[in-house]
Structures are given as structure tokens and as C-alpha cells.
Amino acid sequence: MSPLHSDEVQHLIDDLRSRAGVLLLVAPPAENNSGHLARVNEINLLTAAADELEYLARWKAEATEVLGAWEQVYEAAGCPGPLGGSKAEAVRALLNEEREA
């Protein structure tokens, strides 16, 4: 499964919120009716799913920004270390070597 692009995620969020909104507009049955409780539960689930998607989309955007900045540091250090190795460890080792020299 390929990851969703940010516009696809926003579309899903909008769709979930729209579905919850439609359920809110439907004429509510009596509050002691099990149909009412099921509708309230569905609205809560749709809203929670949309909230979680928004949270994860923000988290991904922030993490991608941090990783992009880290990539610039790694490249500025000359891309040290072996291919597939930890970039953080390679830069740390380079800095330690420079300090000891």
C-alpha cells in the first residue's frame, strides 16, 4: 500500500467530517432510542478518526521538516560513514574525531 499524499489525507478528513455532519442533520429519534445511541456513537467515531488523521498529518509534516534539516547537516558534514549506516552516528564520530585532532 502506498502512502497517501497530503491532499488525499485532507480529502479523507473532510469526508469524515462531512459524514459526521450529515448524521448530525438527520432528524434525531427519541434519546432513549437505540438508533439515537448508534448515531451518536458513529458521529463520535467519525470525529475521532478525523481528529487522529489531522494529528498524524501534522506530526508527519513536522517530522519531515526535522529530517530535511538533519539531511542538510549530514550533507554539510560530507556524508560521512558507510552506506546504510546511521547518519547520526557517522556525524557524531566525525565531530569527535575533529575535537580530538
pLDDT at 38 over 90: no
Question: From CA 30, how far away is CA 40, in angstroms rounded?
Answer: 12
The predicted pLDDT at position 36 comes to 79
* pTM of the model as a whole: 0.70
Residue indicated by cell numbers 574525531: 97
pLDDT tens digits, one per residue of 18-28: 999 888 887 56
DSSP string, the chain: -PPPPHHHHHHHHHHHHHHHHHHHHSPP--TTSHHHHHHHHHHHHHHHHHHHHHHHHHHHHHHHHHHHHHHHHHHHTT--S-TTS-HHHHHHHHHHHHHH-
